[in-house]
Structure 1
Amino acid sequence: MPEMGDKGITRARRIVQWMLNMTLAVVWLVVLLAIVVNVGLETISLVRAALSLIGLVVFSWLFLRITRAILNRSYATREVVLSGILALALAALGGASPTGWGFVPLGWLSVAAVGLSRRNAILLGVGTALVTSPIVILAMLSGQDPAGVNEEGSVAGLVVGVLVYNVLLAATLPWANRLWVWIWQLAEQAHVGKEAQSRLAVAEERLRFARDLHDLVGHQLSAIAVKSELAARLAADPDAAAAEMAEVRSLARKALRELREAVRGYRELDLVAELGSVRAVLEAAGVDCRLHLPYRDVPAEVAPVFAWVIREAVTNVLRHSTASVCDITVRFTDEEAILEVRNDGVTPKPIEDLGTGLAGLTERLAAVGGTLTARPNGSGQFTLRAVAPVLAGVPA
Structure 2
Amino acid sequence: MEQWGSAVRVKGLSGRWSERSRLVKVDLYTRGTIYLVIWSAVSVVAALLVLQSATGTLSPLPALAAVALTLAHGLVCARLARRAMDTYLGQDEVPRGLLGWATALTCAESFVALLLVRSGTPEALEALPGLLSCVVLPLSAGYALLVRNRVTALAHLGVLAAVFALTSLTGMGLGQRIFTAVFVTFASAWLAWTGRASLWVLAVMWELREARDVQARLAVAEERLRFGRDLHDVLGRNLAVVALKSELAVQLARRGRPEAVDQMLEVQQIAQDSQREVREVVRGYREADLRAELEGARSVLEAAGITCTVVLGRLELPGEVESTLGWVVREAATNVLRHGDPRRCTISVGEVDGTALLVVENDGAGPHPAPAASATPAASAASAPERPGTGLAGLRERLSAVGGELETDSGRTGRFRLLARIPLDPTGTGTGGGIGRERAADGGGNTTIGGGTG
- TM-score range with shorter-chain normalisation? 0.5 to 0.7
Q: Spell out, residue by residue over 1:61-85, the C-alpha distance to the aligned partner (whole angstroms, 9 max, x if none).
A: 2122223223433332221110110
Matched, 1:30 2:44: yes
- Aligned-partner Cα distance in 2 for 1:216–1:196: 30
Report if the CA contact (8 A) 1:13-1:71 is conserved. no
Which residue is 1:93 aligned to? 112
Q: Which residue pairs with 1:285 in the alignment?
A: none
Q: Distance in 1 between matches of 2:46 and 2:260?
A: 98
Q: CA RMSD in A?
A: 3.5
Q: Name the CA shift for 1:188/1:63 in 2 (closer, same or farther; >3 Å).
A: same
The correspondence for 2:217, drawn from 199, 202, 221, is 199
Q: Which amino acid aligns with 2:221?
A: A
Residue 238 of structure 1 corresponds to which residue in structure 2?
255
Instruction: Please say if 1:118 is aligned against 2:149.
Output: yes
Contact 1:113–1:125 (Cα < 8 Å) also in 2: no
Q: 1:171 to 1:268 in 2, by over 3 A?
A: closer
Give the structure 2 partner of residue 15 of structure 1: 29
Q: Alignment identity in percent?
A: 21
Confirm or deny that 1:52 pairs with 2:71.
Answer: no
Query: Is 1:262 aligned to 2:278, yes or no?
Result: yes
Distance in 1 between the 2:161 and 2:268 partners? 86
Q: What is aligned with 1:253? A: 269
Structure 1's 247 and 164: CA in aligned 2 closer, same or farther, altered over 3 A? same
8 Å contact from structure 2 (residues 238, 274) kept in 1: no
Distance in 1, matches of 2:55 and 2:130, equals 15
> How far off is 1:250 after superposition?
2.1
Q: Distance in 1 between matches of 2:262 and 2:136?
A: 91
| Distance across 2 between alignment mates of 1:34 and 1:70 | 29
> SS in structure 1 opposite 2:130?
coil
Q: The residue matched to 2:129 in structure 1 has which SS?
A: coil
1:103 equivalent in structure 2 = 134
State the match for 1:67 in structure 2. Answer: 81
2:50–2:63 CA contact under 8 A, matched in 1: no
* Preserved contact between residue 213 and residue 262 of structure 1 (Cα < 8 Å): yes
Q: In structure 2, the residue corresponding to 1:95 is in which secondary structure?
A: helix
Deviations 1:354-392 (A, max 9, x none): xxxxxxxxxxxxxxxxxxxxxxxxxxxxxxxxxxxxxxx
Structure 1 residues 133 and 229, CA, compared in 2 at 3 Å: closer, same or farther?
farther
Specify the code of the residue in structure 2 equivalent to 1:14. L
Change (3 A) 1:93 1:18: same
Please say if residues 109 and 125 of structure 1, whose CA atoms lie closer than 8 Å, have aligned partners that are also in contact: no
Which residues of structure 1 form unaligned runs of 5+?
Answer: 142-152, 271-396
Task: Please list every run of 5 or more consecutive structure 2 residues that lacks an aligned counterpart in the other structure.
Answer: 1-7, 13-17, 116-127, 287-454
Q: Structure 1 residues 102 and 257, CA, compared in 2 at 3 Å: closer, same or farther?
A: closer
In structure 1, the partner of 2:204 is 186
Partner of 1:155: 174
Give the greater-gyration-radius structure (CA). Answer: 2
Aligned to 1:78: 97
Counterpart of 1:117, as a letter, is R
Give SS of 2:21's match.
helix
Q: CA deviation at 1:235?
A: 8.7
SS at match of 1:25: helix
Question: Does the C-alpha gap of structure 1 residues 251 and 235 become closer, same or farther in structure 2, counting only changes over 3 Å?
Answer: closer
Take 1:206 and 1:237, find their aligned partners in 2: how far apart are those partners?
43
Cα 1:111–1:71 change in 2 (3 A) is closer
User: Structure 1 residues 250-259 or 214-223, which shifts more?
Assistant: 250-259
The structural deviation recorded for 1:176 is 0.9
CA distance in structure 2 between the aligned counterparts of 1:220 and 1:61, rounded to whole angstroms: 72
In the TM superposition, what whole-angstrom CA distance separates every residue of 1:140-170 from its partner, at most 9, and x where no partner exists?
Answer: x2xxxxxxxxxxx32211111111122x223
Match of 2:187 in 1: 169
Partners of 1:127 and 1:221 lie apart in 2 by: 79
Distance (Å, rounded) in 1 between the aligned partners of 2:264 and 2:99: 77
Instruction: Give TM-score scaled by structure 1 length.
Output: 0.55
TM-score normalised by L of structure 2: 0.48
Instruction: Note if contact 2:38-2:74 (Cα within 8 Å) is conserved in structure 1.
Output: yes
Shift of 1:28: 2.2
Compared CA separation, residues 5 and 210, structure 1 to 2 (3 A): farther
Quote the Cα distance in structure 1 between the aligned partners of 2:85 and 2:33.
12
User: 1:192-341 counterparts in 2 under 5 A?
Assistant: 192-226=210-244, 238=255, 247=263, 250-251=266-267, 253-263=269-279, 266=282
What CA distance in whole angstroms lies between the structure 1 residues aligned with 2:148 and 2:159? 16
Inter-partner Cα distance in structure 1 for 2:83 and 2:260: 73
Change (3 A) 1:129 1:251: farther
Aligned AA for 1:95? L
Contact 2:99–2:143 (Cα < 8 Å) also in 1: yes
**Alpha carbons of 1:264 and 1:226: their partners in 2 closer, same or farther (altered >3 Å)?**
closer
Offset at residue 249 of structure 1 (A): 5.7
| Mapped contact 1:91–1:103 kept (Cα < 8 A) | no
CA distance in 2, matches of 1:71, 1:250: 69
Number of residues paired by the alignment? 255
